[in-house]
Structure 1
């Protein structure tokens, strides 16, 4: 296949699937990973794709991927991350769980934990954890966002600030190379900031596609976290920042 045709097909595949890893693209086109990296760099320079750690995604600094696509994107990886995170959450714990498809997998992984007190602004998380009869689920008030059943707004922030919990579980849309935590929705970010402020420890759950992805709304910094749970080693600059700020890094092994 000629290079121009391969570049066009790479763009098509990423637009269809939301994200493609370097490994899967190399296998698809029967070329080396180094060739795909050069292709992705060129396409990124043209603003046709966004280069991520280990692959390429949609150019999405302003708009997030549709919720239905996020539910299935990297689902196996999200489930591994969720199981690892749940293994570090003791029973009889109070916690916030906020918006995000990885957070929803964490909720599923907590179904057999006893004595949890969970405060959430995610109706999907609430519905999942209601099946755990030994735990209590408290749902924040506010405006329900229909696309993903997230609860956001000033009332949500005020509600969150009434509590002080053991652990906050947060998701993220992007982590810049300087350690800045980034997301798409200002109202969603303000709720997450309130969760960070009112949690004794903060766990971030994020698959590898979030590293060096650059949404436009600043949420906070890696230094505010207690631990990061992911499925692949982050880029060296981010690993250095985690070590510098004594943030634990947990990488989920493949099953």
Structure 2
């Protein structure tokens, strides 16, 4: 394998994600942006900027016009973390309890900041383990656990996800390989796979899944009814899919065709 090419591809991917995050920030602050000004600022071609803007347009974030783009007035808002964690709480807790039962003595673990995956912290077993996470909830819940080595991913705190997330977060997590990863999702559909609301979160989840011996997707039954903006994995990328028994039987059958290791709790 040509590791230099692999590193270059990773750098290009993260550079592109970082550029689009900054463009989105400018849109939020200014309401509109210019193609030529952005191309000059980021030292890329106007065509590259147009592709970035068209990606946001397909997501319903902005509308393009000659020479630039402006924010859509009626674009969808993502509920903040506290609001999302209350939704379907008893189902999320059951999934978290089941997922925690897979953690064994000496494990190294990735845990993302999803509202379902962080429920694991309430049922964390009495074992020695290493936990690597970007979740503020996990840090607060498990910070005093003397059996646990807690490794905190750096980055900018994002209230929307309840944890840290920027380019440095993804680059940091790429340095590790673990026994088990526990990953949440905004939506998961049998015809499109797992999706989340933005590219950087998708890249983080993709990294957690790829760099673990065993990966667990955690999603309550309401997550199987749609798609979000950015795809990050397929059902078959995981060793186990954990959801609650309220998942529609027809959907259960469809999921099992893609991954037989479906666990209902």
| Same fold at TM > 0.5 | yes
Distance 2:179 2:114 in 1: 20
Q: Please give the root-mean-square deviation of Cα atoms over the aligned residues, in Å.
A: 2.0
Q: Runs of at least 4 residues of structure 1 off by over 6 A?
A: none
Distance 1:149-1:65 versus aligned 2 partners, 3 A rule: closer
**Residue 198 in 1 paired to residue 222 in 2?**
no
Distance 1:240 1:233 in 2: 13
Alpha-carbon offset, residue 115 of structure 1: 0.7
* 1:175 match: 188
When normalised by structure 1's length, the TM-score is 0.69
**Residue 156 in 1 paired to residue 156 in 2?**
no
Q: Deviations over 1:119-178 (max 9, x none)?
A: 001121122111321111100112221344321122111111111100010000101231
Stretches of structure 1 that go unaligned for 5 or more consecutive residues are 1-60
Stretches of structure 2 that go unaligned for 5 or more consecutive residues are 1-74
Matches within 5 A, 1:121-132: 121-132=134-145
Distance 1:140 1:82 in 2: 21
Distance 2:260 2:240 in 1: 5
Q: Tell me, yes or no, if the aligned pair for 1:94 and 1:118 is still in contact at 8 Å.
A: yes
When normalised by structure 2's length, the TM-score is 0.67
> RCO greater where, 1 or 2, for CA within 8 Å and sep 6 or more?
1
Distance 2:106 2:130 in 1: 7
**Residue 120 in 1 paired to residue 133 in 2?**
yes
Aligned residues: 191
